Chain A
Amino acid sequence: MSEQQTIAVAMSGGVDSSTAAAMLAREGASIVGLTLQLWDQTRLAGKHGIPDAPKAGRCCSLDDVYDARRVARQLGIPYYVVNQEARFEQDVVRPFVSEYLAGRTPIPCSLCNNHLKFDQLLQTARSIGAERIATGHYAINEYDPQRGRWILKRPADLAKDQTYFLFGLTQEQLAHTLFPLGRLTKPEVREEARRQGLALAEKPDSQEICFIPGGDYKQFLTAYLEEQGETMPETAGELVAADGAVLGRHEGISNFTVGQRKGLGVSSPTPLYVLQIDPASHRVTVGADAELATTTLRANQVNWISIAGLKSPMRVKVKIRHRHEPAWATLEPGPLPDEALATFDEPQRAVTPGQSAVFYDGDEVVGGGWIV
């Protein structure tokens, strides 16, 4: 049989993935649309101030499944919703919750991309006879025969760059993934959506964490733990200055994130920021903005993309959170095999444990890991 290779497109019901599907369909590819059902938006609705009705544009809301289905019908492609709620809870929601309770500030999107989305999508795609997957992420993915590696690069539209969330992709995953939007800007994508007659061309982008409608993670933590019959661990403790002087008390470390200014509950003539959270002693250290700056970071669980591994120091730019402008640093192998140490040329503000650090060489993603 000379069957054309089938591509499974992850469709969220948003403009980006819909347009990606439409572009592949127009190229004549044999495609199947898949939506991963990750979280039941009605599950915690109305509890502890979580909105009753999920807004449109929330991942996994019924409206989005409806939109994705409608696009699939318009493109004339088979479309299925795949239930991954159990794995999402196990691999993303649970780690998210325990990270917060441990005083770190996790990024669920990277957890999801690293541990579930690509892995599961590829797995499902292969089960149903598709060779490759495609998503609506803004990133470029290409094979470099000289290095013999798949390279992940920043997209044409740097404002929409999603490589920060994709640092965990393995060579195997990159080899079987297409990012059709990588060379387009967002306005061009909307234009393409309009040209293809997609009704959702004007649909707003989603911004929040998909399983936290309203974006209030404290509400979510409380409601989720209550549903699980667990109690919020007691993590109240001291609020101290950098020199150890006790300034007051706080009600729990999960209320804080490094760099936070609001809601500290102490008055001071100069603005105070969270410098450090110690999950063992529950001590939260605060100080002046200048004290937030650090010059080094250590990342663990590092995944290398453009290189097979780090043997000697390398000049890179490091991005330490989604909206951070990558900063020059020297990268060295860390104390453990899956770790790396970055020393910045200029001190960086609020290096936050739990976030990821992604290393860039020009437009290429060298690799990335989790900030310890």
Chain B
Amino acid sequence: MLPETRGTNRVYMDANATTPLLAEVVEAMRPYWMETFGNASSIHLDGQRARTAVDQAREILAEFFHCHEAEVVFNSGGTEGDNTAIFGMVRPGDHLITTSIEHSAVLQAARRVGGVGGVDVTYVDPEPSGLIDPEAIRAALRPQTRLISVMLANNETGVLQPVEEIGRIAAEAGAFFHIDAVQAAGKIPLDVRRIGCHLLSISAHKMHGPKGVGALFVRRGTPLESLLVGGSHERRRRAGTENVPGIVGLGKAAELAMKSLEDGVWDRVAALRDRLETGLLRLYGTGLNGAGSDGKPVTRAANTTNLWFDQVEGEALVIALDLKGVAVSGGSACHSGATEPSHVLLAMGLDKTRARASLRFSLLKTTSDADVDRVLQVVPEAVSQLRTLSPIAAGTLG
């Protein structure tokens, strides 16, 4: 039994956490559970049918990345892609450049190679806007710089990082370049040739595909050591029996994502996001985190906005909104499921109180006008309720 609040009439504005599968994706995956169940490595016909499905998905992903089919490696998702790029590329004595606003899958991997792995790691901080200055990456270069890892769309702010410029800097320096494109995939076109990266990670479930499957673009000739060893799957770059239904689902999700990049869906989402943002910014004591708030315009993923609400504990606001039927996110979940202030906002220079008072709204492609109306009604109510109770407002907390 699930609480009533979870079932009906919910507004879901946490697309950067995950997205629902589209019906076409479910349909595409359906035959690969029971009918076409073969192991793609098997010689017989059952195996060959599975192999065909995986190959077809690979063709779609090659189109999605603008790369060759042989450069697509299927895996279990964004974390595996990010981990593989770090662990598979750097060795003791190497230098790694990344940023302080990366996803934990990059940050924790960097921390590990920097700790016991004998790798020097530089974490480049963002501007207050949330943008990484390419010149800061250039300034961090050393002769030993082996890998640069920078995300494309930030998960908290949606800010799009200048990866093409960073790609040129990497090329000039002879360093390899990995992009965590998990939050960008499906929201903006990806062209690995134009960006000039060697590695790029995506995850299916952030773009209406299934959880537990993703892909890593690996440019030909990149000396990547595989994370998982065993069978010779994925041209020896990722051992393990292929997740055939998942890969098929990823392929279909990528195909649909490419379509919606052309049909104007994201312009509509951006307009809804802007209306939501403008409406919430009318509230007293509210502000935008990053994204040009310091005067410099930056481009963002169309679906994301991150706002602070003065005198509000973001964690309580998330719960209050959830109970009112609106799903949003504040900060990141810690080990127990409680909320920690976002490391991204802290890196952008927000103090802990403001970071804790911040909420992320991330819209789905299917978010409607009515959804935005509902949020514009419910959030101000909840915020003002919280403020009347706030110990921060009453001055009882240091």
Contact = CB atoms under 8 A, between A and B. Distances in A.
The finding on whether chains A and B are genuine partners in a shared complex, rather than unrelated, reads: yes
A274 to B, nearest CB: 35
B334 interface: yes
B8 interface: no
A65 B338 CA distance: 10
B389 A126 contact: yes
B313 A127 contact: yes
Contacts of A77: 3
Given A32-B323, A78-B3, A83 B315 contact: yes
Contacts of A73: 1-2
A126 B338 CA distance: 18
B19 to A, nearest CB: 22
Contacts of A124: 316, 319
A128 B389 contact: no
B338 A83 contact: yes
B212 to A, nearest CB: 21
B339 A127 contact: no
A188 interface: no
A29 B130 CA distance: 45
B320 A127 contact: yes
Nearest to A86: B352
A83 B2 contact: no
B391 A78 contact: no
Contacts of A44: none
A37 B336 contact: yes
Given A77-B3, A78-B3, A78-B322, A127 B336 contact: no
Contacts of A126: 389
A129 B323 contact: yes
Given A127-B389, A129-B323, A76 B2 contact: yes
B5 interface: yes
- How many A residues touch the partner, as a band? 20 to 34
Contact of B316 (A35, A60, A90, A128): A128
A299 B97 CA distance: 59
Interface in B1-33: 1-3, 5-6
B108 interface: no
Nearest to B1: A76
Given A76-B2, A129-B323, A37 B334 contact: yes
Nearest to A65: B336
Contact of A76 (B3, B319, B323, B391): B3
Contacts of B44: none
B264 interface: no
A174 B319 CA distance: 24
A129 B319 CA distance: 10
A232 interface: no
Contacts of B335: 40, 42, 62
Contacts of B315: 82-83
Interface in A175-228: none
Contacts of B391: 123
Interface in A59-94: 60, 62, 65, 69, 73, 76-78, 80-83, 85, 90
- How many B residues touch the partner, as a band? 20 to 34
A245 B340 CA distance: 55
Interface string A93-106: 00000000000000
Interface in A99-127: 123-124, 126-127
B323 A83 contact: no
Contacts of A81: 336-338
Contact of B334 (A80, A83, A127, A129): A83
Nearest to B3: A78
Contacts of A82: 315-316, 319, 338
A124 B316 CA distance: 6
Contact of A127 (B1, B6, B386): B386
Contacts of A40: 334-335
B299 to A, nearest CB: 32
B320 A129 contact: yes
Contact of B323 (A42, A65, A128): A128
B319 A80 contact: yes
Contacts of B320: 127-129
A318 B324 CA distance: 47
Interface in B351-398: 385-386, 389, 391, 398
Given A83-B315, A127-B316, A60 B323 contact: no
* Interface hub of B3, B334, B336 (most chain A Cβ within 10 A): B336
B336 A62 contact: yes
A78 B338 contact: no
A78 B386 CA distance: 19
B340 A83 contact: yes
A40 to B, nearest CB: 7
A76 B6 CA distance: 10
Contacts of B339: 83
B378 to A, nearest CB: 12
A42 B335 CA distance: 10
Contacts of A65: 336-337
Contacts of A83: 315, 334, 338-340
Interface of B: 1-3, 5-6, 313, 315-317, 319-320, 322-324, 334-340, 385-386, 389, 391, 398
21 contacts: A32-B319, A35-B336, A37-B334, A37-B338, A40-B334, A69-B337, A73-B1, A78-B6, A78-B322, A78-B323, A80-B322, A81-B338, A124-B316, A124-B319, A127-B319, A127-B320, A128-B320, A128-B323, A129-B320, A129-B323, A129-B385
Sort A-B residue pairs by CB-CB distance and give the 4 closest, nearest first.
A83-B338, A76-B1, A37-B338, A127-B316
